[in-house]
Structure 1
Amino acid sequence: MSSENIAAVLSPEGWALLNSLGPYDESGSLRLTEQLRKAGHAPEVIAAALTQSRLRAKAAAKFGPLAERMVFTEAGLEQATRLQVAARHARRFVDAGLLRIADLGCGLGADSMALATLDREVTAVELDETTAAAATLNLLPFPNARVVNADAGAVDVSEYDGVWLDPARRRTTSSGTSRLFDPEAFSPPLSFVQELAGTGTPVGVKLGPGTPHESIPADCEAQWVSVDGVVTEVALWFNALRREGVRRAALVLGPPGAAEMVSSADFGDGPTAAIGEPEGYLYEPDGAVIRAELVADLAAQLDGHLLDPRIAYICAPSYTATPFARAYRILEVRPFNLKALKAWVRAQGVGVLDIKKRGIPLTPEEVRGKLLAGPGKGRRRATLVLTRVGDERLAIVVEPVPAD
């Protein structure tokens, strides 16, 4: 979105129009546009209001009801922290007794909102003028937060007790946004974060969950976070914000609440899991557990073993409830042979097929298309776990264990 569009929606007419619109409906947007034009609204105001209405609807997953009074940009929303995660970021600063916080690269202001809610004094810094304008509006309800349109790398942080960074990890072009993967291509780069932490400043930084382990500095805590089964970030915590004895962690947030696994061992130095045959129950670890290299630790908690040392499936003879993995009861173990599996699907009357896979080159969609091809589909539902054990490929028939 251009700065002109932001300006249009922040005008008295644009703001009133935006807040008068009902729930966004893509199918009715053209009809609504015509109605608004006939009512005398300027085209640029209509375009800005409808764009914000669409982004507000999309943002509800991250911001809940607060999205109804916020302003967004496409790129900013893509990278914005979910409020429930931002609240946990903010709690770190509170627990460390840090009052004056600089939020460098604040984006739309999600983390600044969380910090301000917990009575921190926040200076939110954003280089992009349009995004800074959006953050200014989003932070208006908080008198203890201010927005500065500036380069994060040029801010004197000596007057602050702690620093939070969410480096820009997307490049915006005329055709949209694209993700950046090199930590040194971020704005500011990871090296800037390390230099800042090297001064002893308490620093937290949010990075993409796929950040390579070799890129993670040795003097920080790395915490991967998943929300409802989706890994959203890895946060690196330095100095006073780092927990003693924690090098890597997996925080899992979902309807039952929060659960966390931690390890003091460095990457590559954790326990080694036992290897065994498919039996009893199969567990699919949460992505945060996998990213944090805690699969072997989880296997030990479950009194289980891996099927293959390179594949993150755990089996155990008995069921143990855990928030860190999805559990399945094993019904049958078959060789992975498409012709034989197709015959099995027809014989069992299967018409709906859920497929999980690791270590098999075919996609679940490809396998499902081959197994359900042809007439005579049944009504039963089945779940297959496709995996490799050494050089052998297996199709494990399972049924999901209901979540506790």
Structure 2
Amino acid sequence: MESAELRELLTAEAIALLDSLPAYSSATDVLKIVSELRKAGHSASLVATVLTQAKLRAKATGKFGDFAQRMLFTEAGLEQATRLPVAALHAGRFVRAGLTRVADLGCGIGADALAFAGAGISVTAVEADEVTAALAAYNLSPFPEAEVHHGTAEEASLENVDAVYLDPARRTSGHSNTQRLTKSEDYSPSLDFSFGLSGKLPTGIKLGPGFDRDLIPDHCEAQWVSVNGDVVELGLWFGSLARPGITRSALLLTREGMHELAAGADAPDAEIAEIGDYLYEPDGAVIRARLIGDLARSLGAHMLDEHIAYMSSNTAVQTPFASTFQVEQVCALDVKVLAKELARRGIGTLEIKKRGVDIDPAEFRKKLSLTGKKSATLFLTRVGERRMAVLAHRHGEPSDRNSP
């Protein structure tokens, strides 16, 4: 979004026109809407601007729910924004710590600042990109507790706050088609600056879930967050925002509720043994937090290999922290053998999972020449130097064990 487009968007005419549009979906007849709006006398640029926002609002519903219908976005801003339920959890930490005045440095379009303000926290949101800062100001306008400043995190005044929250930019600048930064030293603000603030004020820092664990400071709580199986962030919490005795945690937000596995340190590995009747695939947050050993012991399960995250047991135990599969067959990882076995079982729909092997599941699937009406899950992995394939089905679904 360029400055000219922003100026056109932030007018009474544009906002009224945007709010009047029907809900956008993949079935929306865009040409019909464009034609009607042009006939009504609206300029081509205004029509394009409001339709882009309508499309972004529809896309944002997954992150913001009904709030999306009164917000403004850039494509990159929406992609990088914290999901509102996760932002609410961030705000909850500040509330429980008794912190009432927060500086949100690198606020983006204002997702976390919305949660802070909604929790009654006075928030000063700072954003280096001028267009994004203007959109954040619009999104936060209903909240008198929030104010937005255009500027850098490094230059922001912290005189009137009692805590800091940072979401360092981890992608190249721009409002669309940005690229992920592969080197942490390129983050903005820098990690040195962000970590340095933690020695002065209670501090929360949002990072990508794949952040190098070796760079995590010792004096903080590191929490990996998963939403419906998708690991979305790593949160580092310092000072009173960190919980006593916890340095590693995996927080799962699922359709059934919220679940957490926490510990004072990385969990020691569980016992190593051969595969049993059931296979467990831990949630990605559990894997990132290195709490696999604790989870395995709580399930009465064992690990298959110290370098592979799969676990196994002879008894199924339901857990929100892992998906459970009933093992049908274990064999060598040989495409010809597998193709023959899958054909014999009439399996035409196959979910392929892999760990520890250099295989492209899409290319591997083509070689299997699947036909049939049944479905299954195929794990491609290794134990030590042995490559193996495990045919299974999700626990609770019909078994193919008795197929001819």
The TM-score with structure 1 as length reference comes to 0.95
2:69 maps to a residue whose letter is: E
Counterpart selection for 1:397 from 366, 381, 391: 391
Q: Contact 2:25/2:58 (CA < 8 Å) preserved in 1? A: no
* Equivalence for 1:293: 290
What RMSD in Å do the two structures reach over aligned CA positions? Answer: 1.5
Structure 2 Cα separation of the partners of residues 162 and 402 of structure 1: 47
Q: Please give the alpha-carbon distance, in whole angstroms, between the structure 2 residues aligned to 1:92 and 1:183.
A: 26
Q: 1-side partners of 2:283 and 2:132: how far apart?
A: 33
User: Could you tell me whether the CA contact under 8 Å between 2:269 and 2:292 is conserved in 1?
Assistant: no
Q: Is the 8 A contact 2:224 2:251 kept in 1?
A: yes
Matched, 1:63 2:64: yes
Deviation at 1:381, TM superposition (A): 1.2
Shift of 1:396: 1.0
Give 1:173 shift.
5.0
Q: Does 1:316 align with 2:317?
A: no
Match of 2:325 among 317, 324, 328: 328
In 2, Cα distance between the equivalents of 1:378 and 1:210? 38
1:304 to 301, 306, 321: 301
Aligned residue in 1 for 2:400 = none
1:226 to 1:41, Cα distance in 2 relative to 1, 3 A = same
Residue among 279, 282, 287 paired with 1:282: 279
In the alignment, does 2:73 pair up with 1:72?
yes
Contact 1:93/1:99 (8 A) holds in 2: yes
Per the TM alignment, residue 48 of structure 1 is displaced from its structure 2 partner at its CA by 0.9
Please name the residue that 2:51 is paired with. Answer: 50
Aligned residues: percent identity?
A: 49
Alpha-carbon distance in structure 2 between the residues aligned to 1:59 and 1:26:
14
Give secondary structure in 1 for the equivalent of 2:173. strand
For 1:3 and 1:53, locate their aligned partners in 2 and report how far apart those are by CA, in whole Å. 19
Tell me, in whole angstroms, the C-alpha distance in 1 between the residues paired with 2:396 and 2:143.
43
What are the superposed Cα offsets for residues 157-195 of structure 1, whole Å, 9 maximum, x if unpaired?
132111111111111359721111322211111111111
Partner of 2:164: 163
Of 356, 381, 385, the residue aligned with 2:375 is 381
Corresponding position: 1:214 with 2:214: yes
Matches within 5 A, 1:34-183: 34-173=35-174, 176-183=177-184
Match of 1:246 in 2: 246
* Cα offset, 1:272, TM superposition: 2.2
Q: Does 1:339 align with 2:336?
A: yes
Unaligned runs of 5+ in 1: none
> 1:165 touches 1:204 (CA, 8 Å); kept in 2?
yes
**Mapped partners of 2:23, 2:176: distance in 1:** 27
Structure 1 distance, partners of 2:123, 2:175, is 33
Q: Secondary structure of the equivalent of 2:178?
A: strand
Tell me, in whole angstroms, the C-alpha distance in 2 between the residues paired with 1:64 and 1:93.
23
Output the CA distance in 2 between the equivalents of 1:173 and 1:161.
31
Q: Is the 8 A contact 2:74 2:176 kept in 1?
A: no
Please list the CA deviations of residues 98-156 of structure 1 after superposition, one character each: whole Å capped at 9, or x if unmatched: 01111111111111111111111111111111111111111111111111111111112
Is residue 199 of structure 2 the alignment partner of residue 198 of structure 1?
A: yes
Aligned residue type for 1:46: V
The answer for unaligned runs of 5 or more in structure 2 is 398-404
Equivalent-residue separation in structure 1 for 2:18 and 2:269 (angstroms)? 56
User: In 2, Cα distance between the equivalents of 1:103 and 1:392?
Assistant: 50
- Counterparts of 1:339 and 1:319, CA distance in 2: 31
Letter in 1 for 2:293: A
Equivalent residue number for residue 356 of structure 2: 359
Separation of aligned partners in 2, 1:91 and 1:9: 33
* Contact 1:63–1:83 (CA under 8 A) maintained in structure 2: yes
Please say if residues 225 and 252 of structure 2, whose CA atoms lie closer than 8 Å, have aligned partners that are also in contact: yes
SS at match of 1:172: coil
Query: Mean alpha-carbon deviation: is it higher for 361-370 or for 72-81?
Result: 361-370
Displacement, 1:219? 1.4
Shift of 1:43: 1.4
CA deviation digits over 1:39-76, x for unaligned, max 9?
A: 21111111110110111111111001110110001111
Deviations 1:363-383 (A, max 9, x none): 22122111125xxx2111122
Work out whether residues 223 and 235 of structure 2, in 8 Å CA contact, stay in contact via their aligned partners in 1: yes
Tell me if structure 2 keeps the 8 A contact 1:9–1:18.
no
Answer with 202-211 or 164-173: which moved more. 164-173
Report how far residue 17 of structure 1 moved: 1.2
* Paired letter, 2:145: N
Q: Is the 8 A contact 1:181 1:211 kept in 2?
A: no
- CA–CA distance in 2 between the matches of 1:247 and 1:34? 57
Report the TM-score when normalising by structure 2.
Answer: 0.95
Q: Which amino acid aligns with 2:179?
A: S
Cα contact 2:77–2:175 (8 A) shared by 1: no
1:39–1:137: structure 2 CA closer, same or farther, 3 Å change rule?
Answer: same
Distance change in 2, residues 1:127/1:175 (3 Å)? closer
